[in-house]
């Protein structure tokens, strides 16, 4: 009798293990299927991404363009401060020239030796920007190599015949102005032409 009950026990254990394995296998298939995405779900997610991107792209482009103009205005101001500081430290006039046609600007000593000015700076505008020099009512503006220029005197002040305003404009027509201060000590960035 003991032998038969062991057989029944072994058979019962085998059936139980098989049922558990079948349930486990079925559960793992259900779990794997629930974790996967269908093609329709992927297409819907991609369509939402396209819609969101198309709504966000124009404001982002304007933001980036505005950042380029502000960055260029600050870079031009930094170059002006460098030229002004150099004029004071070396005790000789420095000239910041602007090439409107080629979209570049830079500064150098007004009088240079045979080898030129080793500390001269030449910078190029961002390709989306244009630069213009506005000489409001000046009869003989300061020039360097036939280019309009701002002349910083040895005391750090701006020469009276220097341009009063420099305008930076982006491709959409938005502008920033660098306007000479009333006391001729430098320039200030403005979002309006009249300050």
In tens, the pLDDT along 40-56 reads 989 999 999 998 888 87
Q: Would you state the pLDDT for residue 76?
A: 92
Q: Which stretch of DSSP H or E encloses residue 32? A: helix 2-35
Q: Enter the DSSP assignment of 191.
A: S
Q: Would you state the pLDDT for residue 25?
A: 54
Question: Which of 74, 76, 65 has the alpha carbon at shortest distance from 174?
Answer: 65
CB atoms within 10 A of CB 177: 22
| Long-range pairs of 85-90 with CB within 8 A, sequence gap ≥ 24 | 85/156, 86/119, 87/152, 87/153, 87/154, 87/156, 88/154, 88/155, 88/156, 90/154
**pLDDT above 70 coverage of the chain, percent:** 76
- pTM for the model: 0.65
Arithmetic mean of pLDDT over the chain? 81
Q: Enter the DSSP assignment of 27.
A: H
Q: Compute the distance between CA of residue 136 and CA of residue 144 in angstroms, rounded to an integer.
A: 18
What is the arithmetic mean of pLDDT over 57-75?
A: 76
**Residue-wise pLDDT tens digits, 7-41:** 555 555 666 665 565 555 555 555 555 677 788 98
The phi and psi torsions of 141 (rounded to 5 degrees) equal -70, 155
């Amino acid at each position: 009798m003991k032998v038969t009950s062991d057989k029944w026990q072994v058979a019962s254990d085998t059936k139980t293990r098989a049922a558990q394995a079948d349930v486990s296998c079925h559960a793992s298939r259900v779990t794997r299927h629930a974790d996967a995405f269908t093609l329709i779900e992927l297409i819907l997610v991609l369509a939402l991404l396209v819609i969101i991107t198309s709504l966000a792209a124009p404001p982002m482009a304007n933001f980036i363009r505005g950042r380029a103009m502000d960055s260029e205005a600050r870079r031009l101001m930094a170059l002006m401060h460098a030229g002004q500081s150099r004029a004071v430290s070396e005790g000789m006039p420095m000239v910041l020239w602007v090439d409107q046609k080629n979209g570049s600007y830079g500064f150098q000593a007004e009088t240079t030796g045979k080898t030129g000015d080793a500390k001269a700076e030449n910078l190029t505008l961002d390709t989306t920007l244009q630069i213009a020099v506005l000489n409001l009512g000046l009869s003989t503006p300061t020039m360097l190599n036939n280019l309009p220029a701002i002349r910083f005197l040895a005391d750090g002040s701006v020469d009276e015949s220097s341009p009063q305003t420099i305008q930076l404009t982006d491709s959409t027509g938005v502008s920033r102005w660098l306007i000479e201060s009333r006391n001729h000590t430098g320039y200030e960035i403005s979002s309006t032409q009249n300050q």
